[in-house]
Amino acid sequence: MQKWLIVYSNNTGNTEQIAKAMFQVLGSEAADIYSIKEAPAVEQLPQYDIIAVGYWLTRGAPDKAVQQWLHNLSGKRVVLFQTHGTDKYSEHSVTAFARAASCLGDNCEVLGTFGCQGRINPVLLNKRLTLSADDPHAPTERNKKRWVMAAQHPDTTDLAEARQFIAAIQRKLILREKYQNTQQ
């Protein structure tokens, strides 16, 4: 059995909800779950075969605590998951996965990525309400509509999709192992 570690950062509760949904699939015998503030030290990471790292986006990248933690990973199989206020498949969210992957230490393999829209920190939203019209985060009708949509997530569908995603990664790993065994 492969041992998983789920580490997540949290700002509004979105990423924690996704992390806990993923943990439900893996169970406590196969996985440990920690907030980034309580994450195991680098010396403890060899006991984990797969590390799932969740984060919220700030300026199109993982928050600083996660960026620093990702640099400590070396030679690990990694799953990245993120929550953000933008549309699920927007260029902004897709690019953020590349930025997260670029923070990884040497010889890490990204097994998969999962993104989910989530409510935006109210303090940040209040700041955005005062931005001038030429700022991309200004309170335009399009942005206001997106903010309302984001406030409704993660919802039960998002949590179900997170659970399905982890189950699919588990199946993928089993199939990969079977294939590698037939190649020997």
Give tens-digit pLDDT for 7-19: 999 888 999 999 9
* Distance from C-alpha of 54 to C-alpha of 158, rounded to nearest angstrom: 14
Q: Which residue has the tokens 């994450």?
A: 39
Apex CA 112: angle with CA 159 and CA 61, to 5°?
A: 80
- SS3 for 73? coil
Predicted TM-score of the model (pTM)? 0.89
What is the rounded average pLDDT of the residues 150-164?
91
Q: First and final CA of the chain: distance in angstroms? A: 21
| pLDDT bucket at 105, cuts 50 / 70 / 90 | very high
Check whether 154 has a pLDDT greater than 80.
Answer: yes
Average of per-residue pLDDT values in the chain? 90
* Distance from C-alpha of 78 to C-alpha of 53, rounded to nearest angstrom: 7
> H or E segment at 21?
helix 14-26
What is the rounded average pLDDT of the residues 23-29?
95
- SS3 for 1? coil
Check whether 26 has a pLDDT greater than 70.
Answer: yes
Q: How confident is the model at residue 47, as a pLDDT?
A: 93
Give tens-digit pLDDT for 35-94: 999 999 888 999 999 999 999 988 889 999 999 999 999 999 999 999 998 877 888 889
Q: How confident is the model at residue 5, as a pLDDT?
A: 97
| pLDDT bucket at 184, cuts 50 / 70 / 90 | low
Q: How confident is the model at residue 65, as a pLDDT?
A: 95
Nearest by Cα to 45 from 10, 16, 75: 75
Of residues 167 and 127, more confidence is placed in 167
